[in-house]
Each structure stands twice: as structure tokens, then as C-alpha cells.
Chains A and B, each alone.
Chain A
Amino acid sequence: MLNELNIEVSTPPPDLDAVLQQVAEHKGCGTEGGSGKASCGSGAGENDLPQEIWDKVKNHPCYSEEAHHHYARMHVAVAPACNIQCNYCNRKYDCANESRPGVVSEKLSPETAAKKVLAVASTIPQMTVLGIAGPGDPLANPEKTFKTFELIAKTAPDIKLCVSTNGLALPDHVEELSKYNIDHVTITINMIDPEVGAKIYPWVYYKKKRYTGVEAAKILTDRQLLGLEMLTERGILSKINSVMIPGVNDKHLVEVNKAVKSRGAFLHNIMPLISAPEHGTVFGLTGQRGPTAQELKALQDSCEGEMNMMRHCRQCRADAVGLLGEDRSAEFTTDKIMEMEVSYDLESRKAYQDAVEIERLAVSAAKKSEMETLAGEHSDISMLIAVATKGGGKVNEHFGHANEFQVYELTTGGAKFVGHRRVDLYCQGGYGEEESLSTVIRAINDCHAVFVAKIGGCPKNDLKTAGIDPVDQYAGEFIEQSAIAYFKAYLDKVKSGEIEHVVRGDAQIRQGALMASSAA
């Protein structure tokens, strides 16, 4: 198989490994003040975790909030079949510009997928993670899924393999997952109460039979929790995805959080329902709404305890390529990759990642030194800021070019990443500049300020009118360091009476079909 793909693999010199190990062991991201809560905030900071777990997740953009600024992932759509039906999914919808799970432009054979992975990894050296997430369920397509993993493990041994499943078939495949050295598994668990489940899942296909209603949901939850326990027993890291559906499972997800935490799940990712009539999903057609930004944040906050909450999930397509928040899949269609000369060069990939690690050290160090200026400050004030960034942990995107804003919560405890807001254009376009500005304001309406590399005069004034401070003085600087500096200055102004602190309102989470950035 593999010689058909014409791939060369070179190995790195051993001294580079030593350098990387040193970098991996950096201690720049410390816990301050002995509160027991790590200053790294949500989503897997180094000091939250035992070393062996940190080593597994530190370069995984979907498991580490810190890593997602620097490392990219790709999904290959080798698994079209599914074994359950969800009310938020419609397999007939295939808009090329749609970005959400379950949607792909083309399905791939394992051989084509392996070639695609190597083509992408050669072009994008920060691509460290390969996931199979559908568009159906990877474990309902076990032969294709495991064949793909086998091919990639042979030619690109440095790439982490992960899989995202609804869990129904998981107990049957845990053994095989551990055989392929897959140490990241995501299970979508939306309920542990079959009565709730019956409102989310119309049916499951299990042991040659279609089950419906409460009976179906009971089978599903039993299998999901059994699968999770089996993963934990084998030391395989599991992330739990939950879709927040207001009025259906929103309050119940606190119970789900407890259940998965007690069974050893490592990270919980509560995502907003994506629902619009044009998707043709049951929820889209019944008018089931998704949560607002503050509803989502309140639930995530209430679940945050000893368990990490993931807040940087972009709910990407099952064939997405690139950093989270970007999608370069259009550059790597089957036609294009078949023409590419692929030479897989481990050494240059590692050298690039080495440079990234040095940048990460700088981000942590900058944050730490800025935190010292907040030492001794005590205030009940907390505020959100939105940041326009292209990655690297810096304020480095122009306001008008941003497809999304990252949201940080500022308190005297520091700057904590709490989410992101998509502001890209609707698939059925026709939105002018004014509409897109009001879209942005609706999306970040709960923020006090927006940090940008650059911003024009008009949007600047409109933002001010909306009560959002446009901040361009930190262009090119580290996000968290800048945010802490801004917050310190803000507190000083409140203290001196120069400004009065006001609480902001709620914000909207974007629904509907979204343009891929390449098509925008």
C-alpha cells in the first residue's frame, strides 16, 4: 500500500529530541497565590496535570487551550456511516461552505486519507494531530478507521491519532484503540438519563436492530459510560463532548459532568447547539434554539471544578484542516493531493515545532511577569475582552479581517480564556460592511473591550457607541500579558474615579451556515 504513495520518511537526529524534551519540561506557567486553581485557566494548562498527561496533550490543539494557538489538526472523512440518529444532525446537508460536525465535501478511502495526511503535514509543519470524526461515527466504520490509523502510524509516527465517537460501539473497540496507540478519544455524551436522551436521539442501531425512544437512549448511555470506564482502565485519555440544548439537557449537563468526571474523563467540552431551519435537522425544523453566550458560559463555569473545561472548540467539519478557527481543506482536495510530491521530513517538522515551543515559552514568561503587577490587587470586578488573533498567542489580526474573536475573562486572578465568537459571513451572502459590524457587536456585546492589531475609524466609533472599548495599543503583543496590563490600568481608573465600572449584557452565538475562510 504505502509504496504506492511514494513517501519517504527520514528520522531526526537524537540531539533534537533532547532539546525538545527540555522545552517540554518548561515551568513557565505557574500557579500563583496558593488558591489551588491553576492560573493557566481553562482547558489543560501544564500545572493542572500530571506530567505524563501533560506530555500527551501539550501539542494537541483540541485538548490544550494553550496548544491551540500554535498547533494545527486535521480530520479525514473516512467514516461516513453512523449507527445512531441525532436530532441536531442531518446527513443530507452538504453545503460546501458549511462548517460544523457531520459535514464534509468528499469521502476518502483510507489510502487517499493517508496520502492527504502526509501532504498536509509536509505543507503545515505545526499539524500534529490527525482525527477521525466522521462524518458518521468512526467506530461504525471500524475497518476504514483502523486501516487509516495503521497507514499513518507507519509513515508519520510523530502525528497523534485521535478518534471521536458517539460511544455506542466503543466497548467493542477499546482493545483495538489501545493497540493502535490512540491515546485521545472523544465521546459525545449529551445525557445520562434516558428520558432526556429520548428527546435527542430518535433511534440507535444496535446488535442488528433499530431501537427507538427511551429504550434506545438507555442502550446508548449504558454503552457510552461502559466505554468511558474501559478507556480509563487502559489509561487512554478521554474528552467528553456535550451539546447544550436549552430546555432539553442544559440543566442535566451538570449531572453528566459529574458522571463523566467520576469515570475518569479528562476534559469536558460543552458546546452550543448549532440549529437553523436551513440545516434540515429535527431541531432546526422545530425551532429549537441554541444557548446565548452567557448561558453557555454560566453552564461551563458551573461545571468547572477539578475537571478541565474545554472552551476553545470550534465545532469544525469532519474534514477540517489547519489551526482551530481556520479551515484550509480547500487546498487539499483529492485532485490536488494526488498531484503533490510528498516527502515527509520528520527533521524539518521537529525543527519547526522546536521554534514553536520557544514562542510558547515566551508567551508563558510574558504572562507570568505581567501577573506580578497584579500582586496584592483585590477587586470584585470581572470583565470580558474580545481579541482578534491569527495565532501564536498574540494580538495580531485586523478588526475587519477577523473571522472570530477569542474571549478572555479578566479578574485580579489573571486573564483566563473562556471562549470564542464566530463572526464570519453567512453562506447565503449579501451582507455589507454595516451588517457585518452589527454582527460583530452582537457577538461580543458582553465584552468591555476588543483588542485588535488595527482598526478603522468608523468601526472604532461604532464600537465606542456600543460601549465596547476598541484597543489597538497592544498590536503584535502577547494576548494574556496585554490583557493583564489593560485590566490593571482599568482598575486604576475605576479607583481614581476616572471611569465607572458597568456590567455588560449578553451576546449572541452565531448560528447558520458559515463561510470557510478561503471562500470568504
Chain B
Amino acid sequence: MTYKIVESNCTGCSACEPECPNKAISETKDGLFIIDPNKCTECIGHHDEAQCVAVCPIDKTCIIDTSFPRYQAA
């Protein structure tokens, strides 16, 4: 699994982007933010909690994307 950003909730505030330890978050053409599922590690091995979730000003915006398998620390 990885995290994903619910587009309709994202305000484009950019708070998540610099906090991501994997540089998995980037800005879209529309000024919103997306998470690259191939880079997201759910912050496992980096932090106690997912940084995008911790800093996002809108509840239920950075959520688990169940369509990906759970990240396995190497």
C-alpha cells in the first residue's frame, strides 16, 4: 500500500512536499499535489507517522491507497 492524495480535497498548499522523506510528492500542472506510488514507503523506516498525513491541513486527504501492496521494508 501507499498513500494517495484525494484530489478534490487538496488545496495545493504544498506543506506535504518538503516533508516527504522519499521525494514521492510533486506538484501537478493545476497546482495540486500527487504521490508517486512507486516511491511512497508510508514513511516506514523514516518516521513514526506518515508525514503527508501529519502535516496536511485537510482531514482525510492523504489516505491509504489499497490498490497497491503494503510496503515492505528492505
Contacts and interface: CB of A to CB of B under 8 A. Distances in A.
A378 interface: no
Contact of A210 (B12, B14, B31, B54): B54
B47 interface: yes
Interface string A59-88: 000000000000000000000111101000
A91 B61 CA distance: 13
Interface in A123-161: 135-136, 140-141
Given A107-B31, A209-B48, A209-B49, A136 B15 contact: yes
Contacts of A208: 19, 47, 51, 54
B13 interface: yes
Nearest to A203: B54
B55 interface: yes
Contacts of B15: 80-83, 136, 140, 205
Q: Select the residue from A92, A135, A141 with max chain B CB neighbours within 10 A.
A: A92
Nearest to B43: A208
Given A107-B31, A210-B49, A205 B12 contact: no
A91 B13 CA distance: 8
A107 B12 contact: yes
Contacts, number: 45
A210 B49 CA distance: 8
Contacts of A92: 9, 11, 58
A232 to B, nearest CB: 29
Interface in B1-23: 9, 11-15, 18-19
A85 B13 CA distance: 13
B57 interface: yes
B49 A91 contact: no
Contacts of B49: 209-210
Contacts of A141: 14
Nearest to B17: A81
A85 B57 contact: yes
A204 to B, nearest CB: 10
Q: Select the residue from A81, A83, A107, A210 with max chain B CB neighbours within 10 A.
A: A81
Interface string B14-53: 1100110000000000010000000000000001110101
Contacts of B51: 208
A83 B19 CA distance: 11
Interface string A291-312: 0000000000000000000000
Contacts of B12: 80, 107
Say whether chain B's binding surface is mostly helix, strand, loop, or mixed: loop
A209 B47 CA distance: 8
A91 B54 contact: no
Interface string A366-408: 0000000000000000000000000000000000000000000
A82 B13 contact: yes
Contacts of A83: 15, 55
B14 A80 contact: yes
Contact of A81 (B9, B14, B54, B58): B14
A205 B13 contact: no
A81 B13 contact: yes
Contacts of B31: 107
B48 A80 contact: no
Contacts of B58: 91-92
A76 B62 CA distance: 28
Contacts of A85: 57
B52 to A, nearest CB: 11
Contacts of B18: 81
B54 A209 contact: yes
A107 B13 CA distance: 9
Nearest to A142: B18
Contacts of A136: 13, 15
A107 B54 CA distance: 23
B9 to A, nearest CB: 8
A220 to B, nearest CB: 15
Nearest to A210: B54
Nearest to A140: B15
A82 B54 contact: no
B72 to A, nearest CB: 22
B49 to A, nearest CB: 7
A92 B11 CA distance: 6
Given A107-B31, A208-B19, A208-B51, A91 B14 contact: no
Q: Select the residue from B49, B51, B54 with max chain A CB neighbours within 10 A.
A: B54
Given A135-B13, A205-B54, 11 more contacts: A80-B11, A80-B12, A81-B15, A85-B57, A91-B13, A91-B57, A92-B9, A92-B58, A205-B55, A209-B49, A209-B54
16 contacts: A80-B11, A80-B15, A81-B13, A81-B15, A81-B18, A82-B13, A82-B15, A83-B15, A91-B57, A136-B13, A136-B15, A205-B54, A209-B48, A210-B49, A210-B53, A210-B54
Interface of A: 80-83, 85, 91-92, 107, 135-136, 140-141, 205, 208-210
Interface of B: 9, 11-15, 18-19, 31, 47-49, 51, 53-55, 57-58
The 8 A-B residue pairs whose C-beta atoms are closest, nearest first, are A81-B15, A210-B54, A80-B13, A205-B55, A91-B57, A91-B11, A81-B14, A81-B13
